[in-house]
Copies of this chain bind each other. A is one copy, B any other.
Amino acid sequence: MSNQLHINTEERLEQLANTIESGSLYQLQRMINAMHPAEIAHLLESSPPSRRRLLWELVDPENEGEVLIELGDEVRASLVDEMETGDVLEAVKGLDIDDMADFLQSLPDKLTEETLEGMNRQQRRRVEQVLAYDEDTAAGMMDTEVITIRTNVPVDVVLRYLRLQDELPSHTDNLFVIDKYEKYLGILPIIKLLTSQPDDRVEDIMNTDHPAIPADMSSTEVASLFEDRNLISAPVVDNDGKLIGRITVDDVLDVIRDESEHSMMSMAGLNEEEDLFAPVGSSVKRRALWLGTNLLTAFLAAWVIDQFSTTIESAIALAVLMGIVPSMGGIAGSQTLTLVIRGLALGQIGKGNTTSLLFKEVMLGFINGLIWAVVVFGISTIAFHDTSIGIVIALAMLLNLLIAPLTGVLLPILLRKLNIDPALAGSVILTTVTDIVGYTAVLGLATLLLPYIRSLLG
């Protein structure tokens, strides 16, 4: 690791492409292994499969574990798939317990077992302890390497004990104070150790209001706790208040990154771990499912239109202009949906404020509906020389711009109650609603009103 700052991946990619072209394998190998594991991981993720395999073979075996840990699940699985079990074992040996657990969770069961069997007893016990918990809970994120101390020890003894350690676990900003039953009592900030007198006792200088995280707290809540309280590390306790591990801020960074990406990717029917260069075979299946679902929606809309084919035949301008209504509904609905999905993810929406939110969004829809209804009426009349259809389209759009925010607020809340991910299912269902309401409104209104309006307009 050099003092030189990592340059950004794009420049790195270009440098790499040049090195590959120049044909010097030795130079390539030197270049890769001078990089930080996280940078190697970025590079692998940014490389198409064939180049990725070549690069991976050039990575020093001693770096393999650190690189694997930094990779997205999908890319990691594709590389591990082609490794010998022995090499996998070798690669994970030096990892932190929480990283090791993460890694093992992404392996096929057989490989997980083989890897566990290859570990020494203490390591295995520790990893299994973390594996026993759900990945998305505090305990599933925690590291079990923790420095603990007792209340009645004086500062100079603590200092002497620390000097005996080869190296402290990374991100050790606090020592954890426990009683004889391993119950968590508080923290002793390292900084406090520096500014205390040698004969001060731990109990006199410890901090008892540092939050302890229950083992089953969800990783989302852990992340917001770290964000809110600006924590670097926090103790994890079991139901009896016994200290079982600690969570550090670097793991929280990952949770925040994953969470925010999850919503965005899910709304397009993608997985947040999706490999940019996933093999076509596995991608086709996922994408096909999403397209197929949307095709159903499209055919449903077609069926609605079909019910009104006589109306369309009598006024072909309807065929030209009717698409505007569902399209605007879809856009307006997606805005509300996105806002609500984010609000739900941040825990900002609950019983106490749904009504206010609904009122605000529908109000917005109404005002925008009025504005654009007038515009639509104007353009239809001037550009398409059809006043009567302009009236119908304008009315239908106003209606759809009321239904869209209503759906955008209520649908994700309902889906969450049903334990369905609103980010994944929300946009498809919303578009189905706005399409069907949109087409039904414009064609239904046309069927009802056109003869009447036309007779009025003479």
Give the chain B neighbours of A221 by CB distance below 8 A.
8
Q: A45-57 CB contact bits vs B (8 Å, 1 = yes)?
A: 1111000000000
A352 CB, min distance to chain B CBs, angstroms: 4
A83-91, A128-136, A269-277 - the one binding chain B? A269-277
CB < 8 Å: which of B213, B280, B338 contacts A360? B280
Number of residues from A at the complex interface, CB < 8 A: 135
Query: How distant is the Cα of A203 from the Cα of B147 in the complex, in angstroms?
Result: 28
| Cβ-defined contact, B8 with A347, below 8 A | yes
A204 CB, min distance to chain B CBs, angstroms: 16
Instruction: Mark out the residues of chain A between 122 and 157 whose CB falls within 8 Å of any chain B CB in the assembled complex.
Output: none
Q: Chain B residue with minimal CB distance to A49? A: B356
Query: How distant is the Cα of A284 from the Cα of B364 in the complex, in angstroms?
Result: 6
Give the chain B neighbours of A191 by CB distance below 8 A.
162, 168, 172, 190
Query: How distant is the Cα of A212 from the Cα of B6 in the complex, in angstroms?
Result: 10
| Cβ-defined contact, A194 with B163, below 8 A | yes
Query: How distant is the Cα of A289 from the Cα of B10 in the complex, in angstroms?
Result: 34
Q: A29-61 CB contact bits vs B (8 Å, 1 = yes)?
A: 000000010110010011110000000000000
Give the chain B neighbours of A229 by CB distance below 8 A.
36, 38
Give the chain B neighbours of A457 by CB distance below 8 A.
none
Q: Chain B residue with minimal CB distance to A213? A: B5
Q: A170-184 CB contact bits vs B (8 Å, 1 = yes)?
A: 111100000000000
23 CB < 8 A contacts A-B: A6-B225, A10-B351, A13-B350, A14-B352, A42-B228, A42-B348, A46-B347, A46-B349, A47-B353, A173-B173, A190-B191, A259-B260, A267-B338, A277-B360, A280-B367, A284-B368, A290-B331, A290-B335, A298-B328, A302-B320, A302-B323, A303-B383, A306-B320
